[in-house]
Structure 1
């Protein structure tokens, strides 16, 4: 018996298991296994016409783990690497093994850089993010967000007081940066005006 101090009895034989459990051992005979044709090289059966699949164009510029000799024959191209985040991702793949924490920390850092790059790009295109509607704040107010958390076993109740700081911190920091830059510019302008007058 499992999880007891008693020594387990002898293991049941294949014939005993087959008699006790309907269907036990149906795949012991390779002739009964549906996957067997896939497990052996038989081009006449499978219709395979190549030893190695034809490579997708652009494989030589794709990032790959240093553990692998080459990129898989087919790979995604929907989100090509770009900007500083792309450079960090390329460095992570070129320099560190997937078994190293540095590899994954660099990729996480590249994700954060990509967020900043995307927000800057959105501002430059005249389509800045809207923190009120895009953060779910409006639905928290109109959709009974507070009452849904009271007397609730939800895990996010314990840290909900931090959410405004975490979500709002980048916006507060950006506003502070802009205010400081405007203040410095006004101070310089005032000094120039005082020097002239």
Structure 2
């Protein structure tokens, strides 16, 4: 590695590349180019000491291919390893990183992967002695016993606008799963109670 990315060194020795060059190489680059869109802008002005006392930290080993945004040349020196991607949700997450962070597809796929990951763990829990309890773990009981409804009025909460969607997003899949299981049980029960027409014709022929 002949060139080290400037965010990981104490003094930014690498000359800055032009905006046109970066925009041509990185899809979506410059989405936050306006300083008004960057809360961190005051800290990015020249002359502010970073306080870094190292040149380049020792890099954490990459034990499996990790997700990396197309905006970055390589992974940062330190990254998380507690929840490696797995299953269908992992495949969705890996596909999300093929898109720039400036595109909605990147974030929508990550949101979808979170929902899939939650249901993967729900299904796994049913194979244990302590399956997930949607009543207690989704906070439904707290809505009636902890002032859930009263806390939404007159408090100037910013999340009130989307709260009508929360029951659909959280409880909807559970309701659909329950309806599906009920329909499957009804079908199996109907097949068991329905007489075997072949056996009836055989018995009648013998008579």
Answer yes or no: same fold by TM over 0.5: yes
Distance 2:168 2:103 in 1: 32
Cα distance change, pair 179–69 in 1 and its aligned pair in 2 (3 A): same
Q: Please list every run of at least 4 consecutive aligned residues from structure 1 whose deviation after the TM superposition is greater than 6 angstroms.
A: 156-162
Structure 2: tracts of 5 or more residues without a match? 1-46, 201-207
Mean Cα deviation higher: 180-189 or 164-173: 164-173
Mean Cα deviation higher: 122-131 or 170-179: 122-131
Name the structure 1 match of 2:58.
54
Shift of 1:144: 4.4
Name the structure 2 match of 1:121.
124
* 1:65-88 Cα deviation digits (max 9, x unpaired): 122111111111111111110111
Q: Helix, strand or coil for the counterpart of 1:124?
A: coil
Name the structure 1 match of 2:134.
131
Cα distance change, pair 124–66 in 1 and its aligned pair in 2 (3 A): same
User: Contact (CA 8 Å) 1:149, 1:157: kept in 2 or not?
Assistant: no
Name the structure 1 match of 2:193.
190
* 1:40-95 Cα deviation digits (max 9, x unpaired): xxxxxx5x4xx5432211266111112211111111111111111011111111x2
1:152 aligns to 2:154 (yes or no)? yes
Q: Helix, strand or coil for the counterpart of 2:75?
A: coil
Structure 1: tracts of 5 or more residues without a match? 1-32, 40-45
1:103 aligns to 2:117 (yes or no)? no
Instruction: Quote the RMSD (CA, aligned, Å).
Output: 3.2
1:64 aligns to 2:64 (yes or no)? no
1:140 aligns to 2:143 (yes or no)? yes
User: Contact (CA 8 Å) 1:85, 1:113: kept in 2 or not?
Assistant: yes
Distance 2:133 2:91 in 1: 28
TM-score, length basis structure 1 = 0.63
User: Contact (CA 8 Å) 1:65, 1:97: kept in 2 or not?
Assistant: yes
Between Structure 1 and Structure 2, whose CA radius of gyration is higher? 1
